[in-house]
Structure 1
Amino acid sequence: MKNVGATRNNGSITFWKKLWKGNILPKWKMFLWKLVNNALLVRRGLKRRNIIQDSLCVICSQNEEFEKHLFWDCWLAAHIWKSCQLGINTSSAFSIPMSSWVKNFLIFLWKEDGHESSRVNLFIAVMWGIWIQTCPATLLRWIQGILKEVEQANCVSKKHTQVRCIRQEVQQHRLENQKVCLAGQSDIHSDILLVDGTWKASKGTRNAIAAVGWILVRAQSNTHEGSECVYAHSALQTEALAVSKGLAYARQYEVDSIIVKTGSSKLVQAS
């Protein structure tokens, strides 16, 4: 029983971490938190607090308004779920608690589409649209508002997909434009030295404090690393110092053959 409880607790923590870190509107995150924790001010809760006298759903006027009815059972909510791009049939989830249904559905979408799922945004947008349209005085205004929210939710989903595609194209373009410069000879038994230098110009001084670092990966799978602060007057000199100090560091391990990997193509071309 303890293991089951620990697993559920870890799953809940993972869900909330994904939600808070997700590319979702802050007000939507708070809305979901309240929904999952039964903290929304639905009419049933308001009646219990003696704030209102009637707890019937303002849409169907047949059942008491609470989370499950508002987002599932009400005829208009069910119609909206079927009409949106997700095509959800809420009748199939009749016996599942509302909070579990929301969490399970979001986890499923994250697993299928990745952390920046456009369907997650659409799912939350539809629920948000249903929620904010429960206050209008007339049913006609309610229907007009919710249809507008569904249309806006679909637009948000499309824009999210377009942004993700553009981002992927930019990343692919960067990868295609990367330059790889090779110099010298090596074999499969060579050790690998990765070096990098960080430099920033300082006003009023010719030489600025820079940082260099290196990682030596031995053919025997042993790894050694080091770093040092240096003085340099340019980024190129900083990278050159990183190579120099990295090679000096590797010499103490009696390296016979080594591959040096640096981010400076000028150093490679000059070698």
Structure 2
Amino acid sequence: MNTQNPDILPLGSLPRPTSGDDLAARLRTALLTYGGVDAASAGALQVSATLAGADITTLDVDLTGVELSPREARAAQASAAAVEAARRERGTIGALSVQAHPVTVLGAGVDLQLDVAGVSFEWVEGTDGRLGLAPVEPDEAHPVTGAARVAVPVQAIEAAAERVATQLAAANGLKLTRLDLRLSPAGANGVAVVVDAQVKKSLLSATVEASMTATVDDALGVTLSDVKVTSRNPVVAGLLVAARSRVERFDGRRIDLVSALPAGIRLADVRVTVGDEVVLTARAQ
């Protein structure tokens, strides 16, 4: 039966590539077309691959120096014509490496190192002669193993928080005039966040304070605690009622990282450290 899968990554026309160089060139073109890569940074993207029949023995993607826009990526993917599958064949990526030292996402430099093995996918041959790759969710019989490290400078997080706070203030009829964000370690595996902001409405100016703590426990769950949004000014506090209720409802909520993952990804270790960067490391076994 023919099916359409919007997650299929187009790789040009049939036949399938028979060399790693051909596959790497096709993947690079697909990433440039559908990955939200800024044109000025396109030359920095590097892809290399080796093939063995239906399997991709190695696949290495280097995003160092690349600038990505998730919004542009979503728009490009949404506008791509769906591939109607005439034939599918399963394959496995033996060793997948994705690195970026750093890649720029929404103006923030993100240092990334991902090394995993056993990634399943499907070759999709379209009824119109097109070729694509489709991801296959890992399961107990086809687990993914490896490790990942993501590091984001605190300054980049501060800038992102300021953009979000500006939008949130505007939605509540306020103008953000100052924002100070402080991140610090909380226990052995947590992050404490404190925000001190100055907002203005007409001639009224007041301080808004927000805080929360995110902690990763031994069972690989993230718990948000001490979530608060307050203002000593009663007028501003009244304006923030709706925003406060949306934020404070997360107080005490635990997010189970394990249950949200496919059966084929078994996390063994998740760690968060805070310094000049917020660093998240994880391992799957």
Give the TM-score of the pair, scaled to structure 2: 0.22
Q: Where is the strand percentage greater, Structure 1 or Structure 2? A: 2
Larger Rg belongs to: 1
Give the TM-score of the pair, scaled to structure 1: 0.23
Higher relative contact order (CA 8 A, sep 6+): 2
